Amino acid sequence: MWDFKLVVPVVVLSLSAACYSGVDGDLVDEITEIRGQQTNALKWNGLKWNTLKWNGLKWNGLKWNGLKWNGLKWNGLKWNGIKWNGLKWNTSELEGSAIVVKRKVKGKWQRHSGEALIGMEIEIQADVTDEQGNASTADFIIRADDIYTSPVYDDIYYYDLSISLKGSNVWEPLCEDGVPAIPISNYWDETTGKRIDDKDVVTFACTTGVLAHCVEWGYRPWATSQECFEYKVGKKKTKKFCYDVSLEDHHQACTRMARADYCGTGEAWTVPGTPIDIYDGLSPQIEAPETDWPVEAEWNPNGAYCLDDIRQQGWKAEGKYPQCKWPKAKELSDCGSLKNHRALLVSKFEPVP
């Protein structure tokens, strides 16, 4: 049996060479196709229920930060299992972005996952405190109103989720504007943007945030790809050596890049409507360059490996420029080459006319 936490904290965060338009803060995200590229707003996660903001779900003054499956308490929340098809399913897992439930019947395991779980209800008991500081408990239900896969990547599952105070029969979307969420493993520090590795934890990444956008761009943290090196054999021949790599760090690097978090501290250096062109050094590439724009930076999970120039040229003209500690964002003459796979992603910015 796999204990499973479900975290609903701040986090943020979609298909061939992407053009990303980002914003820091709580602005609503929009995704539009532009010349085969995309734009979207920059925020961590976009969880919202009534006045839900970042790591505080709020309902009439009640708040919680997270929950753990299988009846164990964590951060003031208690998970009481999944109810589906009239039955309780107390063993839960995450495979990629698909929730899986299991139960043993007469010595044999029954298993259901993905779209088959439409209508499932996640029962939650929370230790809550009202606005006067009085402590109590309250029961809530998260319901999967619909579950479907991405038309681009069939291993990305979208969940349309609603939440209700148990017995009230009043339902609200779990995510801002009623957008779907993608379940992904681990959780993120809401201040620094750092990924906290804990495979027993699930984050519902709403599609108004960069966590979900980087998944949609193809950097699915549960997936793998290949990196390759070419080397000379004799004077004229070359050979290629390839090896498998997890895309987990590519996803984290993408979240830094989307928010222009050069120093890897959680501080964003971008504004709404600022497009970027991105590419990687994978074989084959998930994102390939589409423009001849100048290079901005190479990216790793902890921020910019090298910074050629910031995308906000107006800020540069005002004397504003990120001051990162070495080795983050160090300037290199070949920034953008991804030489020897020293970094994972590259961003390019649109030059000022």
Per-residue pLDDT of the chain (353 residues; tens, 9 = 90+): 333 344 433 222 222 234 433 333 222 222 222 222 334 345 656 554 333 322 333 333 333 333 333 333 333 344 455 666 666 656 678 899 998 887 777 778 778 888 988 988 888 776 666 566 666 777 778 889 999 999 999 999 999 998 887 888 888 888 888 899 998 888 888 788 899 888 777 888 888 888 898 999 999 999 999 999 987 777 777 888 999 999 999 999 999 999 999 999 989 998 866 889 999 999 999 999 999 999 999 999 999 999 999 999 999 999 999 999 877 888 889 999 999 999 999 999 999 87
Integer-rounded Cα Rg, in Å, for the chain is 22
Query: How is residue 36 annotated by DSSP?
Result: T
118-143 per-residue burial string, b: 16 or more CB within 10 A, e: under 16: eebbbbbbbbbeeeeeeeeebebbbb
- What pLDDT, on the 0 to 100 scale, is given for residue 44? 56
Hey, what are 224's tokens?
A: 């793998």
- For tokens 């100048």, the residue is 294
Measure the CA dihedral 191/126/206/274, to 10°. -30
Question: How far is Cα 35 from Cα 130, in angstroms, rounded to an integer?
Answer: 50
Q: Which helix (H) or strand (E) holds 149?
A: strand 135-149
CA–CA distances in Å: residue 97 to residues 32, 137, 150, 181, 252: 24, 30, 11, 10, 16
Cα distance between residue 120 and residue 89, in whole Å: 10
The pTM assigned to this predicted structure is 0.80
Which string of b and e fits 221-232 if b means at least 16 CB within 10 Å? bbbebebeeeee
Q: How far apart are CA 274 and CA 41, in angstroms?
A: 9
**To 10 degrees, the CA torsion angle through 327, 329, 332, 333?**
180
CA 54 – CA 64 distance, rounded (Å)? 11
**What are the structure tokens assigned to 39, written together?**
């734009």
Task: List the 91-95 sheet strands across, edge first.
Answer: 91-95, 98-105, 108-113
Paired strand residues for 89 = 82
Residue 63 Cα distances to 67, 98, 169, 300, angstroms: 12, 27, 19, 34
- Beta strand pairing call for 195-196 and 187-188: antiparallel
